[in-house]
Amino acid sequence: MRVTHLVCLENLEEVTEYCRIPVEKIDIITGAMGHALATEGGFCTGSARVTNHQRLSSSGYVFSASLPPYFASAAITAIDIHEENPGLITKLKKNIAILWKGLSAIQGLSFASSPES
């Protein structure tokens, strides 16, 4: 499961419930910090079996370049801002609903996703 845009979700189960996928069925979760945290870098997490395979099979890619300290600092700051302002996600969801409604009114414009995604 790729969660690039969902890094600041309080609960991954919101996504798995929406997609009707039990958390236990997800082998690996990957994400990039470029969208939700306005920085660079990425992450992955999963079961020991999957992450051990990745660590052993892709070390040339995974460990070829470390995250510069200023990118890590930007990610930490973005997470801190999110934690200090829990209403930001609610405000974002309201803004998305307004945008979705406005764009949906444009004749000939269609979406491949849902307003919640």
Please determine, looking at this structure, whether the domain spanning 4-84 carries the CATH number 3.40.50.80. no
Q: pLDDT tens for residues 55-69? A: 777 766 665 567 889
Q: How far is CA 69 from CA 22, 35, 62, 66, in A?
A: 35, 18, 17, 9
What is the average pLDDT across 71-83? 90
pTM equals 0.65
Domain boundaries, the chain: 4-84, 86-117
